[in-house]
Amino acid sequence: MEEVESIVEEVTTEKDWNALKQEASVKCIVVKFFAVWCGACKIMIDKFEAIAQEYKDHQDIRFVKINIETLEDLASEFDVSALPTFVLLKEGKEIERALGPHQELLETMVKKHCTVA
């Protein structure tokens, strides 16, 4: 079986996060806040990747993951209180979030805010 390269980017520094937010071509950022010890986060690994793959041809949508233990300040800034937490930002502002391993909620959120009808 051929392994598909992940298009979900892991953000590991605040500098990288700030650079991503400043990219002019990026209109929509879908963030997954996770922890390596979180069982519900592990359930969503393949599902989050599958959703990202669906939108791989949309250059203005980026899917990223952020480990709350690596970037504690960013997790605090986004008031992450449950894992996984999915936050959708449009043009730099939080538009919506979904808590827990709910693929359908995440898919609906992305379709609603990140696609042009």
Burial of 26 per CB tally in 10 Å (0-12, 13-18, 19+): middle
Catalytic residue among 26, 38, 43, 95: 38
- For the segment 89-96, the average pLDDT, to the nearest whole number, is 91
Q: What is the pLDDT of residue 116?
A: 61
Q: Is residue 3 part of a domain?
A: no
Q: What is the pLDDT of residue 98?
A: 95
Q: Is residue 4 part of a domain?
A: no
Q: Is residue 94 part of a domain?
A: yes
CA distances from 49 to 7, 72, 79, 104, 111 (A): 7, 23, 24, 14, 15
* Pair 85, 33: CB distance under 8 Å: yes
Catalytic residue among 28, 30, 41, 88: 41
What is the domain count for the chain?
1
Residue 41 annotated to the active site:
yes
Question: 13-70, pLDDT tens digit by residue?
Answer: 999 999 998 887 788 999 999 999 999 999 999 999 999 999 999 888 999 999 999 9
Q: Is residue 1 part of a domain?
A: no
- Decide if pLDDT at 4 tops 70: no
Range of the domain at 43: 9-114
Cα separation, 38 vs 98, whole angstroms: 16
- Decide if pLDDT at 102 tops 70: yes
Q: Is residue 65 part of a domain?
A: yes
Residue 28 annotated to the active site:
no
CATH of the domain at 39: 3.40.30.10
Q: Record the pTM.
A: 0.91
Helices (H), the chain: 14-22, 39-43, 45-54, 72-77, 103-114
- Proportion of the chain above pLDDT 90, given as a percent: 78
What is the chain's mean pLDDT, rounded?
91
Q: Is residue 2 part of a domain?
A: no
Tokens encoding 93: 């502002």
